[in-house]
Structure 1
Amino acid sequence: MNNFQESCFSVLVLLVLLLQGSCSDPGVVHKAVGDSLELIADYPKDGLEVQWTYNETVFAEFDEANINLVRPKLFHKRLKMKKDSISITVEDLELRDSGSFSIIANTNSVQYPTKIIMLHVHELIRDVQIEYNVSRLQSENICTFHLRCLASGDPNPSYSWSGHQIQTQGPHLNISLRPAENATLTCTANNTYSVNYTTETVVCREKLDYSSVLSGFPLKYLLIAVGAGIVVVVIFGATLAVCCRRRSNKGQGESEAGITVYEEVNTDGPAKKRSESVANGMSIYETVNDTKLSQNLPQTLYDKINYQRHPAVSTSTSTSSPYQEVL
């Protein structure tokens, strides 16, 4: 009878311990991408058994002074184990690691309360920028600025605006200014883990500032683009001029090279006059007219020196001279 009562009492104690372990309040932990999460089982080691779970899936166990990985691919190469402190560290956290972690520990006689950690991994807000454009209402002479705040890192941060007597929420803001008025505005982006902000000054000018129309496109980039275009045009024009000059010189050289003292000597066709054979008209040698006036007029340079040429003397004539034969 006593043994039965003792057995019932032991079962009742075990049920109470199990209920205590299953009803533990979870702890909420916020981490940034790249941080680490340490899961420590800080219990006495005598006869201790521990299980680490992620979204109710066991991925590691401790038994007999050793830690063993049950699902090594769950956090591939990102788990660091320490058997001395009975802990597992998840390194280089990613956004997809957000979820429920638990540490279940017990001995042969004790069931320890389960530790539950609700992990939220956040992207750091690394940069904040303000883009804007402006429209002008000519009838009322008012500039209306349409501003938008953009943050890199967390895809869904919270935005808030301040400055120029403005306190509002959200990524968009519209304000109206009169000519010569300006406003300095600050956009703040934040999430649970990080905060970042930027400031922009907008001015309503007398004439519409087209650099502002380009969604806040920096004027220096526009000037750089214009300068680059001018350089390209100058280089192209210079290259074109050099090519044209080379072609002109080449054509002139070919034309001059074709006119020589021996131009147009055609042995196959009918004989031509020298004035007709020279492509560029008369040459330095065209001092003697091609047309013979008579047989008695000078025919060569030597005829001018000795105009009255002696008639040709045959070899049989005794009055022949060497000079007559040469001429």
Structure 2
Amino acid sequence: MFCCLFCIVGSCAAPDVEVHKAVGDSLELIADYPKKDLEVQWKYNQIEFAEYQNDNLKKVKSELFNDRLKMNKDTISVTVTDLKLQDSGRFSIVAVKKSEQYDTKEFVLHVHELIREVKIEYNYFWLQSKNICRFHLRCLASGDPNPSYSWIRHQTQGSHLNISLRLAEKATLNCTASNTVSVKYATETVVCTEKSDNSTMASGIYLLIAVGVGIVAVIILSGTVAVCCRWRKNKGVLNKCECAQTKRSDSVVNGMSIYETVDDIKLSQNLVSIACIHHKYIHYCCHAFVCL
């Protein structure tokens, strides 16, 4: 009986009602009819998710809204809590009473993000020939990605605004960002001043500093290399001379035979030759017993 009495959606429906809600809000759908013999279906995009029958209110498709669906048998209503953007859609209340059917109530839900913050960004350039500043301003809102923007003072719609000011002139600008569930404002004061070439000056200073640091580094490196080379050269000459002077053993007090003296001289010559080859990167002249 209950199913047969429901007409095709649209054939006996009241005009759609547009409903705008913010993320996190709740949507209450009340079947405000006399309770006696009343039977009601609640639908979301043509899918039934709750019903009231024989004085009993229950969920049908609980997975649609899970724990966010609250029910009140006393008021014959269901409430979807903590609305999300994806909840936007068409809700229907279909009610009958014995042989009588009520007009289907249709609600088109639009869930919006709240506008959380608004700020104004701007830049300008100085036209010396006209003695004016050209300003380009932009209004930015966070939250809703597609709010409506307006500039109060200039009666301009849209997020961008271009204005011109004379030298030393200032202006206070107000931007409004809004949607159907929230409104936010931002204010900014701008002043026209001649722009000095600070960026070029700063670049020049940084360049001079870099060149100076480079020169100092080269001087320090050159000095270090020179000291190192001189130290290594002196060490090499000293080692050569020491090896050249060791021509015979001085540890024997009572003298040597002629054979021992000749062998000692040959050994000293060999040592000097090895020392000369090892230190060939130093410019010197090496003889049997002399180092220059």
Q: How would you bin the TM-score normalised by the shorter chain? A: 0.5 to 0.7
Cα 1:25/1:170, change in 2 over 3 Å? same
- Whether the aligned pair in 2 keeps the contact of 1:130 and 1:147 (CA below 8 Å) is yes
Corresponding residue number in structure 2 for 1:253: none
Cα 1:143/1:196, change in 2 over 3 Å? same
Matched, 1:167 2:177: no
In the alignment, the residues of structure 2 paired with residue 209 and residue 176 of structure 1 have an alpha-carbon distance, to the nearest angstrom, of 21
Matched, 1:204 2:192: yes
Matched, 1:179 2:167: yes
- Whether the aligned pair in 1 keeps the contact of 2:49 and 2:62 (CA below 8 Å) is yes
Cα 1:51/1:209, change in 2 over 3 Å? farther
In the alignment, the residues of structure 1 paired with residue 173 and residue 165 of structure 2 have an alpha-carbon distance, to the nearest angstrom, of 13
In the alignment, the residues of structure 2 paired with residue 210 and residue 168 of structure 1 have an alpha-carbon distance, to the nearest angstrom, of 34
Structure 1: which amino acid aligns with 2:165? L
Q: CA deviation at 1:127?
A: 0.8
Q: Deviations over 1:259-304 (max 9, x none)?
A: xxxxxxxxxx978xxxxxxxxxxxxxxxxxxxxxxxxxxxxxxxxx
Q: CA deviation at 1:133?
A: 1.1
Structure having the larger proportion of residues in strand: 2
Q: Which 4+ stretches in 1 moved above 6 angstroms?
A: 17-21
- Whether the aligned pair in 2 keeps the contact of 1:159 and 1:188 (CA below 8 Å) is yes
Q: Deviations over 1:52-79 (max 9, x none)?
A: 0111111111122222222111112210
Q: CA RMSD in A?
A: 2.5
Q: CA deviation at 1:126?
A: 1.5
The unaligned stretches of length 5 or more in structure 1 are: 1-13, 212-268, 272-327
Structure 1: which amino acid aligns with 2:180? T
In the alignment, the residues of structure 2 paired with residue 66 and residue 104 of structure 1 have an alpha-carbon distance, to the nearest angstrom, of 16
Corresponding residue number in structure 1 for 2:18: 28
Q: Deviations over 1:214-267 (max 9, x none)?
A: xxxxxxxxxxxxxxxxxxxxxxxxxxxxxxxxxxxxxxxxxxxxxxxxxxxxxx
- Whether the aligned pair in 2 keeps the contact of 1:18 and 1:111 (CA below 8 Å) is no
Matched, 1:131 2:121: yes
In the superposition, the TM-score normalised over structure 2's length comes to: 0.62
Cα 1:270/1:30, change in 2 over 3 Å? farther
Structure 2: which amino acid aligns with 1:175? I
Q: CA deviation at 1:162?
A: 2.4
Corresponding residue number in structure 1 for 2:140: 150
Cα 1:64/1:140, change in 2 over 3 Å? same
Number of residue-to-residue matches in the alignment? 198
Q: CA deviation at 1:44?
A: 2.3
Larger Rg: 1 or 2? Answer: 1
Corresponding residue number in structure 1 for 2:112: 122
SS in 2 for 1:77: helix
Matched, 1:90 2:80: yes
Q: CA deviation at 1:106?
A: 0.9
In the alignment, the residues of structure 1 paired with residue 250 and residue 76 of structure 2 have an alpha-carbon distance, to the nearest angstrom, of 118
Matched, 1:113 2:114: no
Matching of residues 1-327 of structure 1 within 5 Å: 22-163=12-153, 166-208=154-196
SS in 1 for 2:171: strand
In the alignment, the residues of structure 2 paired with residue 209 and residue 181 of structure 1 have an alpha-carbon distance, to the nearest angstrom, of 21
In the alignment, the residues of structure 1 paired with residue 76 and residue 101 of structure 2 have an alpha-carbon distance, to the nearest angstrom, of 17
- Whether the aligned pair in 2 keeps the contact of 1:21 and 1:111 (CA below 8 Å) is no
Identity value in percent: 64
The unaligned stretches of length 5 or more in structure 2 are: 200-248, 252-292
Q: CA deviation at 1:20?
A: 9.0
- Whether the aligned pair in 2 keeps the contact of 1:20 and 1:113 (CA below 8 Å) is no
Corresponding residue number in structure 2 for 1:285: none
Cα 1:270/1:112, change in 2 over 3 Å? farther
In the alignment, the residues of structure 2 paired with residue 71 and residue 148 of structure 1 have an alpha-carbon distance, to the nearest angstrom, of 47
